[in-house]
Structure formats: structure tokens, C-alpha cells
Copies of this chain bind each other. A is one copy, B any other.
């Protein structure tokens, strides 16, 4: 490699490390933090003592902490020596009492790092476990040693419910993927794993009472009860609740493959392979239905110790109900005026079953109906308004609207989506009913191979929204820290970086993937449901195309924009140069990508996108030079540029260029007569 290229590369890659030395890369950001002076140096003499009464789950977490520290520092700690009596400890952990993994448990901690002394104290071990994660994020190094910088942190969560939902139905998500996602959740202090387990496309839990549910209602891919127990124990050890969801009465095709008598229309059913909203719906008027659910929920209530049980309830299209004369008669006879009321009747019956099994019912917005008692919890996917309405009416709720990480939106949108924004009109009591939120990973367009790169790192930003004070909302700072935390997340076992690279190697049919990486790091998949527009996806689609390695926040574009924002603020020449380097890189990549794709049909579809990126980079480079020297464009010039770049904004192979909006903005800024922002 040539020296000049080397320097260029080092410049580009050093953005992180430059800012890193100036600032901590914690995520979620703590409630209170006071930076100190000096360092706690890590060496073989580290001695950790634990005082107090933690639950037994603390020990394995501490061992994992030592192992992770050992892996990263390459120091071979001898466990028998490191874990010591408190009197000789250089790192002292004090835990008041044993914690319980349930909603509202104390998760606070206080961490003090001094030269030669670390003190971590908490009410329960759950807090101390969060403190250990904070330490791992703080770990730094220089040429001679690893260290924790001195500081003081007083930390506690803003919301008690900080969840991640994974849809394991539309595509099955293998057990080990679930497990390492739980580790990643723990790394960013999340505490609810919501497991979406039944859908039109698959029923994913072994039922011993109704074995045809998993045997016929899936493609053979489901979790055995032993595996479910394994995951629950795994999560519990990491301070995470496991809440199952069985989605009824709609989204229920898979139930009916084995048990067609549950449906509201006679016939045979097969597991759905397309995506969308389908007709098969549970018959709420049939007494046998409730006998079935009596037995089913009794079995699942025993399998899942978590006190909340999610019954879904979303997107019931009512088609089968409307067409079924028996159901229509039942509604007339019982004064039920709408499908919504009928669903409320259904939910009322379910509620009794759940209560009998000691469970609290939670469901999506649609279950909200004033006839149901205030003990149920509304899980809001439709919007903050509907959530606030239920809070006003006395219901507790959890927000997922705005946290749909399957929709390829930029992370900043999720980040700024506050369950309780500053301008909230709710009163204090109503506010207390907003329990928190959940990132939701719906699985139409992910497989076990790609799902990690769709969940992470973005979910870390949602974790921060739910944990940190509302005032922590600087988007640029979030993106800067996210870039660093993203790398650390890899240590939890998630495959978000690894599998993406493997997918690129498969696409390139070789080890040399650089031009594809440069392209993929600068483009984004189409947002919302737009990817579905180009073809009708099924559960069998390979999801191995270039669009599947494009990320919702194109990492190089994010870094580029951070440089621009810094340049705007500080007129820093370095930031300007770095921007120019990115533009050069995108521009030069055209030929490199062409060479890579020229004999490879798998890359062919992305060629126009590579061309567009290069042309847009060239335009942007000119505009930046102009911007830097303060030369404005006339209205006619502005128009001409707009026309030139508009054609570069066409989606290609289900991808688009985030640079386009940036450049369009820049064109606006450069228009004569308009003020610079």
C-alpha cells in the first residue's frame, strides 16, 4: 500500500480515536457523571472483593466481567487470586440486598474510580451489574497499559421497562442468536426481552398440550420447552425479564394449521409464506376456543415465570368475522356492535384465563377498550397519542411506536422519540403510567444471519432514550458514542459486524470486499415498507443481496455528516479535510466497484448506485469548496444543480443515497439571498 493512501486511511479512521480521547463513550449516558483526574491502571494485581448480600446471579456476571477484561487486555487473570476478600481488594463492590428480576426493581448504582481504587455500590446486584457494564465501556489503553479513567457516576434508569422485541416467527431466529442478543441488551442496560412467538408464518414454541401447534404450525423450526427455560435462566442471570407474546385473535394462521377448529372460517390452513395482514382469525364466539386457551395459557404460564403475558391483538382485519353468520348472530344476540367490541369480549375472556394463572395482560393498542379493567397494559405501536389517551384513562403503557427498528429509519428518529417529551400534557400521575418502551424487530426482511445488524447498534440509542435523563439528546454526540459502543457490542457475541462482512465476502466471491464495503457504508436500504414495493417477499427469500448489507445509518455517511456539523460549528480545517477525503473515497470507488462487479452478476444490480454515489460525491465536493469560500449560487445555478442531482435520487436495488438530502440542503444553503443556517 502506498504511503499516501496509508495516511489518508489513518486520517479517515482516526476520527473516532481522536474524539475518543477527549470524551467518554458511555451508552446509555449516566444520570450524573463527574470526570476526575488520573487513572486506575489494570494489571495482574487487580483484586476484586464483594461485600453484602447479592443474589447468586452476581457471581457469574462478575466472572464474565473478568473474562471480558482479560480478553481485551490480554492479561491472564488468575480467577482464584483476583476474587479476594474485601480487605485487600483494589476494586470493592458493595451490594445491599438480593434483587428480583421484575418490573420496578432497584437498578441504580454508584461508581467511583480513583487512582488505585474502584468502588461500586448498589442496592441490588442488578445495579452493580449495570456498573460493571459501565466499566467495560470506560476501559481505555495507551502504549503502556490499560486503565479506567477516574470519575464518579451516580446512575439509575429513567424508565423501568426497557425492552427489545424479537419476532422469531416470520423468520425463525436461532437459539444462540437470541442468547447473544440478550448479552447485548445487558451491555446497554436493557431489561425486557419480548419474544414474539406466534404469527401467520410460524408457531415457534413447543406445546406439550397441543403439539400440533409447533409440529404443523412451523417449518420444523421452533424452540423446545427446555430451550425456552434455558433462555429464561440465561436472561434472568443477566437481569432481563423474558415476556412471551402469543398474538391472537389475528396474525394467527399458524395456530389453525394443526387446530382449524380455532378459526372463524371452516377449511384447512397452511403456514403463510407471504407477509401482510391475513384473514385467519380466532373464533371468539366458540366456547371450545376458551377451553383451548385455558389449557394453552396454563401451560405457557408455567413455562414463562414472567408476570406479564403479551397477547398481541393487533391488526385483526375482521374479514372472517364479517363473513361468519354464526358470529354475526352471536354479536346481535349479545349486543356487540363492532368487531372492536367483539375483540374486547374476546380479550375479557382471555383476561380471566390469564388472571387465573397469575398473569398481567399486555397487548397492542387494539386491546384498549374501556370495558377492560385498568390492570391491563397497553403496548403502543400506533402512536404516542393513543398511548397518552390510555394513560389518561388510567392504563399503564409501553411505547413501541417510533421504535420500529425493522423499518430502516435513521437511528436519530428513534433516539429523539421520547415516551414522555418535555411538552407532554400528561400530569404526574398519568406520566407514572408510562412504563417505558421497546424496540421492535419485526422479521419480514431479516434472517438469523442478518438480524443482529438490523438490531444493533441502533437499539443502544433506544436503550439510552429509556435509561438516560431526557436532557441527554445531542444527536451528533449520540452517533459519535454509538460508533464506539458498536465495536464493543461485538464482544457480547452478536454477529452484526461479522456476519455483514461474511455476507459481503459471499457477494464478492472472494476475500477482497473493499469496494463493496465502501459502497455499502455509504448507502441505505429504502425506508419504511418501500423495500416491499419492488417485489413480493416471502419467507423463502434469501436476503443476501447488496441491500441486505446496507445499513439504516450508513456508517461512513454518518461520520461524514459529523465532520460537516463540526466544521459548521468550529470551522475546524481537519473536519473539512476529512469530509473531502470521504468525498474522494466515494468518487474513486466507482472504478474500483466496477472492477469488482464486472464479472459478478450478484453485484451487477448495484452498479448504477455506485455511479450515482460517485457523481453525487463530485457535485458535493464542488459545493463544499464553494461553501468553504463563501461563494453563492444564483437561482438559475441553484436550479440547474437541483436538476442535475435529482436524477441521482432514484432508488436502486432497494437502496438510496443519504448523501442526496445532505447535498440538497447544501444547495439550499448556497443559494444567493438565503441565509446560512
Interface residues of A (CB under 8 A from B): 1-6, 8-10, 13, 16-17, 67, 70-79, 141-146, 174, 176, 226, 487, 490-491, 495, 497-499, 501-502, 505-507, 509-512, 514, 538, 540-542, 544-545, 585, 588-589, 591-592, 595, 597-602, 604
Q: Which chain B residue lies CB-closest to A513? A: B13
Residue contacts A-B, CB under 8 angstroms, 12 given: A1-B514, A10-B512, A10-B592, A10-B595, A16-B510, A17-B510, A74-B507, A141-B600, A142-B599, A144-B604, A491-B506, A498-B499
Among candidates B146, B506, B599, residue contacting A143 with C-beta atoms closer than 8 Å? B599
Point out which of A142, A505, A589, A601 has the most chain B C-beta atoms below 10 A from its C-beta.
A601
Taking CB atoms, residues of chain B closer than 8 Å to A514 are 1, 9
What's the Cα separation between A487 and B174 when bound, in Å?
A: 23
What's the Cα separation between A73 and B545 when bound, in Å?
A: 9
Residue contact A588 to B3, C-beta cutoff 8 Å = yes
Taking CB atoms, residues of chain B closer than 8 Å to A143 are 597-601, 604
Known: A143-B604, A487-B505, A600-B143. A77 touches B540 (CB 8 A): yes
Known: A143-B598, A498-B501. A75 touches B592 (CB 8 A): no
- Chain A interface mostly: helix
Within the complex, the shortest CB–CB distance from A49 to chain B, in Å, comes to: 19
What's the Cα separation between A215 and B324 when bound, in Å?
A: 58
Residue contact B585 to A1, C-beta cutoff 8 Å = yes
Residue contact A146 to B71, C-beta cutoff 8 Å = no
Taking CB atoms, residues of chain B closer than 8 Å to A600 are 141-143
Copies in the complex: 2
Residue contact B505 to A544, C-beta cutoff 8 Å = no
Within the complex, the shortest CB–CB distance from A608 to chain B, in Å, comes to: 15
Taking CB atoms, residues of chain B closer than 8 Å to A8 are 1-2
Point out which of A8, A510, A538 has the most chain B C-beta atoms below 10 A from its C-beta.
A510
Among candidates B72, B506, B601, residue contacting A71 with C-beta atoms closer than 8 Å? B506
What's the Cα separation between A142 and B603 when bound, in Å?
A: 10
What's the Cα separation between A598 and B144 when bound, in Å?
A: 10
Residue contact A602 to B505, C-beta cutoff 8 Å = no
Within the complex, the shortest CB–CB distance from A564 to chain B, in Å, comes to: 20
Residue contact A544 to B71, C-beta cutoff 8 Å = yes
Taking CB atoms, residues of chain B closer than 8 Å to A502 are 490, 497-498
Residue contact A601 to B141, C-beta cutoff 8 Å = yes
Known: A1-B588, A4-B2, A511-B487. A602 touches B74 (CB 8 A): yes
**8 additional contacts (CB under 8 A) given A76-B541, A143-B598:** A6-B591, A74-B542, A74-B602, A141-B600, A141-B602, A144-B604, A174-B176, A498-B502
Taking CB atoms, residues of chain B closer than 8 Å to A4 are 2
Q: Which chain B residue lies CB-closest to A10? A: B595
What's the Cα separation between A142 and B600 when bound, in Å?
A: 5
Taking CB atoms, residues of chain B closer than 8 Å to A17 are 509-510, 599
Among candidates B78, B487, B592, residue contacting A1 with C-beta atoms closer than 8 Å? B592
Taking CB atoms, residues of chain B closer than 8 Å to A226 are 226
Q: Which chain B residue lies CB-closest to A584? A: B1
Taking CB atoms, residues of chain B closer than 8 Å to A599 are 17, 141-143
Within the complex, the shortest CB–CB distance from A347 to chain B, in Å, comes to: 36
Residue contact A506 to B72, C-beta cutoff 8 Å = yes
Q: Which chain B residue lies CB-closest to A585? A: B1
What's the Cα separation between A514 and B7 when bound, in Å?
A: 13
What's the Cα separation between A72 and B598 when bound, in Å?
A: 17
Known: A510-B487, A512-B13. A71 touches B141 (CB 8 A): no
Residue contact B501 to A142, C-beta cutoff 8 Å = no
Within the complex, the shortest CB–CB distance from A485 to chain B, in Å, comes to: 13
Taking CB atoms, residues of chain B closer than 8 Å to A487 are 505, 509-511
Q: Which chain B residue lies CB-closest to A535? A: B76
Known: A2-B4, A487-B511, A585-B1. A542 touches B601 (CB 8 A): no
What's the Cα separation between A144 and B622 when bound, in Å?
A: 36
Residue contact B70 to A601, C-beta cutoff 8 Å = no
Within the complex, the shortest CB–CB distance from A462 to chain B, in Å, comes to: 22
Among candidates B78, B174, B592, residue contacting A538 with C-beta atoms closer than 8 Å? B78
Residue contact A591 to B76, C-beta cutoff 8 Å = no
Known: A5-B2, A142-B601, A591-B3. A76 touches B542 (CB 8 A): yes
What's the Cα separation between A501 and B514 when bound, in Å?
A: 14
Q: Which chain B residue lies CB-closest to A66? A: B540
Residue contact B511 to A490, C-beta cutoff 8 Å = no
What's the Cα separation between A145 and B8 when bound, in Å?
A: 37
Within the complex, the shortest CB–CB distance from A383 to chain B, in Å, comes to: 34
Residue contact B13 to A511, C-beta cutoff 8 Å = yes
Within the complex, the shortest CB–CB distance from A606 to chain B, in Å, comes to: 11
Taking CB atoms, residues of chain B closer than 8 Å to A76 are 538, 540-542
What's the Cα separation between A600 and B143 when bound, in Å?
A: 5
Taking CB atoms, residues of chain B closer than 8 Å to A144 are 601, 604
Residue contact B512 to A490, C-beta cutoff 8 Å = no
Within the complex, the shortest CB–CB distance from A125 to chain B, in Å, comes to: 18
Taking CB atoms, residues of chain B closer than 8 Å to A73 are 542, 602
What's the Cα separation between A578 and B169 when bound, in Å?
A: 50
Taking CB atoms, residues of chain B closer than 8 Å to A598 are 143
Taking CB atoms, residues of chain B closer than 8 Å to A174 are 176
Within the complex, the shortest CB–CB distance from A576 to chain B, in Å, comes to: 20
